[in-house]
Chains A and B, each alone.
Chain A
């Protein structure tokens, strides 16, 4: 059985904000299916009582002193922006007009 369908790939692409093409949907559906079936092997390990590991370094609550350190100037921060207006990042409209 396929682990993933073409429609599911389209849904994932939407969640991940990837405007994939029709052709990519076919390719990715096949490839993701192979990959997901292979990685599903993790389910073979009986691990009911095993705690999860999210990280190799057991550090918690790493804080620093609340001191002012040099940061980027406004010019530096904006230097690589795709579009700038009035010393700010300019973005396309966020709310759709029909919405």
Chain B
């Protein structure tokens, strides 16, 4: 039999549905792979062996009874440990939530369970999804399967590395400023940020609520689209959930897979393809652009003059929202409590708890947000950042009059060595330079592998107008037909 860890999710689902292989066999193969490789990769914070095998057995039983299976039934998925899972630890890679067992499932998790997906466990991340390398995880970093001395990107480095290392065919991430797409690029996998408001935030531990977007990751665009269709859609439990049908992303991925982009206008964003990216990244990107023109795409150059302020606006808006959201970690209802020895009042216990429970990056962001929102600074920082957000959205609107999608490299540089960016927090922020603008606008974006630079993967970034997620999947799938697939060295 073919190595079950090398097959795509879509293929595995077909084989399970036809009875060629059981969901239990598929799941066991991935559990074995995790067992064999995760000591080195550390993609997972928690592996739910029993739960996964039980969910797989339930799919096999349903099939044996003649029930009709959902399109991805029986296929394993890894979930970023920032989404709540009932009865399964949810830590956000923070000491604040170590050992916390949530009493409810995130909506996305509920949808995956109902569709028969098999949850393998929870993947590593930068604490509370704040970071770009997983080096800010309280439980140790994830290593990039391409080079174990390098970071896999972040914050969702665990989910991306699990895909790259063939531990899971599917994964869930969350993208506030690039946390799905940036690790996707750095591990040679596919990561998609759906239109803000089309994937439910219910049960996603909040970082920056006006930006946080859960989304699908996989090794191929079609698999990513298939997971997208399972998780997306209106959720009354999320008041920012858009009450509209999800665009037909699987159909779009199949259409793109036919390898014809005739009449599709790709907008090359001038501000994101210049000197800001390393030469190797630029070269791989340019080669991919040329390949796309050979399958019919028209390339136009567009200018988005306010993108150069996106990083600054993002690092005001997201810390501001973070400082408010993380106020909930007060040591009262759940999570850590420190110093409650009877001698201290609540406020002191709260301060000791938060000091002990949060790592340095989370503390930095809470303090920046507190600063930006404080009276006297509010207008100059938070207020002005919100105006920049308006100007960036206008840049997108103008660019989408000239182009159907916008394109750029996903990241300015390839996977970087551990420790090379942690001493200067601002250097770490630059990893998200190209992914942040679209978060401020709210539209969908995807990263697809497009080649190597210095032996490390480069990501190709496709951004689309709000609610036009199907458009970006079409272009992304077409790209896969013209670039060679990437596979990391054997672990």
Contacts and interface: CB of A to CB of B under 8 A. Distances in A.
Given A31-B425, A80-B334, A53 B323 contact: no
B387 A51 contact: yes
A50 B370 contact: no
A59 B242 contact: yes
A43 B385 CA distance: 8
A45 B309 CA distance: 8
Interface stretch (B41-49, B110-118, B343-351): B343-351
Nearest to B340: A92
Interface string B370-389: 11101000001101111111
Contact of B391 (A20, A50, A62): A50
Interface in B346-369: 346-352, 354-355, 358, 360, 363-364, 366-368
A42 B197 contact: no
B344 A56 contact: no
A96 interface: yes
B391 A12 contact: no
Contact of B384 (A43, A56, A91): A43
Interface residues of B, number: 73
A92 B368 contact: no
A21 B102 CA distance: 31
Contacts of A32: 364, 367-368, 371
Contact of A9 (B242, B344, B358, B367): B367
Contacts of B345: 92-96
Contact of B210 (A21, A47, A55, A95): A55
B103 interface: yes
A99 B358 CA distance: 29
B280 to A, nearest CB: 26
B370 A80 contact: no
Given A17-B330, A32-B371, 9 more contacts: A17-B351, A24-B363, A35-B364, A35-B429, A39-B381, A42-B312, A47-B384, A57-B242, A59-B242
28 contacts: A8-B371, A12-B367, A13-B367, A16-B370, A17-B330, A18-B351, A18-B367, A24-B363, A31-B425, A32-B364, A35-B315, A36-B368, A42-B381, A42-B385, A53-B389, A56-B197, A56-B210, A59-B239, A59-B242, A62-B239, A72-B104, A80-B334, A80-B335, A82-B332, A82-B336, A82-B337, A91-B346, A92-B340
Interface of B: 100-104, 196-197, 210, 236, 239-240, 242, 306, 309, 311-313, 315-316, 323, 327, 330-337, 340, 342, 344-352, 354-355, 358, 360, 363-364, 366-368, 370-372, 374, 380-381, 383-391, 393, 424-426, 429, 440-442, 466
